Amino acid sequence: MTRGKLSSLFLLICLTVFPSVALASEAGHGGINLGEVLPLYSAIPFAGMLLSIALMPLFLPKFWHHHFGKVSAFWAVLVAIPMVIAYTGTALYEFVHVIVADYVPFIILLWSLFTVSGGILLRGTLVGTPIVNTVMLIIGTALASWMGTTGAAMLMIRPFLRANSHRKNRSFMVVFFIFLVANIGGALTPLGDPPLFLGFLHGVPFTWTFNLLPEMLVVAVIVLCIYFVWDTYMYKKEGVTAPADEGVKEPFGLDGALNFIFLAGIVGAVLMSGLVDMGSINMFGIHRAVADLARDGILIVMGALSLVTTSRKVREDNDFTWAPILEVAYLFAGIFISMVPCLLILKAGTKGALAFLIEAVKEPVHYFWAAGILSSFLDNAPTYLTFFSTALGSYYPGMPEAQAVPKLIAENAIYLKAISCGAVFMGANTYIGNAPNFMVRSIAEEAGTPMPSFFGYMVKYSIPVLCTTFVVISFIFFI
């Protein structure tokens, strides 16, 4: 199909679908709360999407490599068409809303960070010994709270991979990189991870997340110690003393430093969207804050400026290609659409099919594990907000949020800590638990580092390493 035909098809879809969405919005979405009527089996396509990601690369690698976009589209269509037939404009509104308000901003942010960080090249001969690797992980973990887990991961992953290109066993290194840089390190500020930013938008003070430092330090130190012991063992087992190529060592240098300004622009734009109220506009029935649209525009400009000002040679030397971001875009389109029923049921709280779970959550440790486990497989931002609202409703029923949030922080802060830690830390439990996880995996595989399968990641790494660590901090902080 030619580009002209694709454009015409897109225009036709916009002209036919979006007016229907606007009518559904004006009609009050049909007066139906889908989360209250959807059965649990409506989550089957989402389970199918996860199983496809987990099993097809193992059993049908060639098919998956060439057709993963079609598989993603299949599961999206399988959930969308029956729901639209059954609930018409109400369901259509929900699907278009998740695309316009969630998926598109999500991809714009990832694209801008991927593009800008791909223009920063750290030159020099850096040898990936256990000590050097541990220091790099510490630096990435520290950066994550201030430039976001995605920003820190995209900035650090390529130098980390190059430093270890001479090592035989690199898979575990990238997994621990995902644990620390792409997840755990983002716990200290609302800039670090989307759930905390959502809390900031709902009245949690910007500096309150500094209170998560003890929990973050304990988790990070335990995981770093496990990594150091593991890397030291593998380093000695490999018998590696120096890189295989012992030519002239390249002096350290930094190319594309201008991109740090663009990174600062991205961070500033994200922060601005939460601080500035410019009102909202109605886009075919989807209400979007003007500040959010301004943020998305700035992010696109930052990415475009990076492309224009960074030489092609820098990106080539940095092994930069568009394949990882394209893979994430295709797969997460299917993930976002197929998980709509799950999120709607979760948002329905005690009136939805997951009422048994919401009602069972009472103690801080319950909030920690419930928010964390669901965040491992669903979008951690709405999961955080669901349990945040549950805590407010349990202790301050009927009280306006502006008054309830300060009281929750003053009188029952441990519940907010549990929700925050669960949503941020346990995003590392799976490849899809947090946005940068899958992208780091894609970049690593493209660079020649074999990565474990979806279930292999969990069985070999996240369950024995992370879940054991989370049990420890449950006893220390939440019981």
DSSP letter for each residue of 89-124: HHHHHHHHHIIIIIIHHHHHHHHHHHHHHTT-EEES
Local confidence band at 9 (pLDDT 50, 70, 90 cut-offs): very low
The total of other beta-carbon atoms located within 10 Å of residue 66's CB is: 9
β-partners of residue 282 are 287
Query: Per the structure block, which two tokens stand in for 376?
Result: 């491992």
pLDDT of 157 over the 50 cut: yes
What tens digit of pLDDT does each residue of 373-420 get? Answer: 999 988 787 788 888 988 888 888 878 888 989 999 999 999 999 999
Contact of 259 with 295, CB cutoff 8 Å = no
Radius of gyration for the alpha carbons in the chain, expressed in angstroms and rounded: 22
**Residue range 300-323: average pLDDT?**
92
258: left (phi over 0), alpha (psi -120 to 50) or beta: alpha
pLDDT of 242 over the 70 cut: no
Give the pLDDT of residue 180: 97
Local confidence band at 358 (pLDDT 50, 70, 90 cut-offs): confident
Between these two residues, 275 and 251, which has the higher pLDDT value?
Answer: 275
Query: Per the structure block, which two tokens stand in for 373?
Result: 């486990």
pLDDT of 306 over the 90 cut: yes
Task: Please provide the average confidence, as pLDDT, over all residues in the chain.
Answer: 87
Between these two residues, 314 and 8, which has the higher pLDDT value?
Answer: 314
**Residue range 163-191: average pLDDT?**
93
What does residue 348 show for φ and ψ, rounded to 5 degrees?
-70, -15
What tens digit of pLDDT does each residue of 439-476 get? Answer: 899 999 998 999 999 999 999 999 999 999 999 999 99
Between these two residues, 12 and 289, which has the higher pLDDT value?
Answer: 289
**Residue range 251-262: average pLDDT?**
87
How far separated are the first and last CA of the chain, in Å rounded?
A: 59
Enter the DSSP assignment of 436. H
What is the longest distance spanned by two Cα atoms in the chain?
A: 71
Chain-centroid distance of CA 321 in Å reads 20
Least confident of 37-46, 118-127, 179-188, 192-201: 118-127
Enter the DSSP assignment of 280. E
From CA 127, how far away is CA 75, in angstroms rounded? 43
pLDDT of 17 over the 60 cut: no
Contact of 417 with 215, CB cutoff 8 Å = yes
Between these two residues, 12 and 90, which has the higher pLDDT value?
Answer: 90
pLDDT of 13 over the 50 cut: no
DSSP letter for each residue of 375-410: HHHS-HHHHHHHHHHHHHHHHSTT--HHHHHHHHHH
β-partners of residue 224 are none
Give the pLDDT of residue 194: 85
Report how far apart, in Å, the C-alpha atoms of 384 and of each of 134, 206, 407, 422, 433 are: 30, 16, 18, 8, 13
Give the pLDDT of residue 23: 39
pLDDT of 131 over the 80 cut: yes
Give the pLDDT of residue 25: 45
Burial bucket for residue 251 (CB in 10 Å: 0-12, 13-18, 19+) = exposed
Give the pLDDT of residue 12: 37
Contact of 150 with 332, CB cutoff 8 Å = no
Give the pLDDT of residue 343: 85
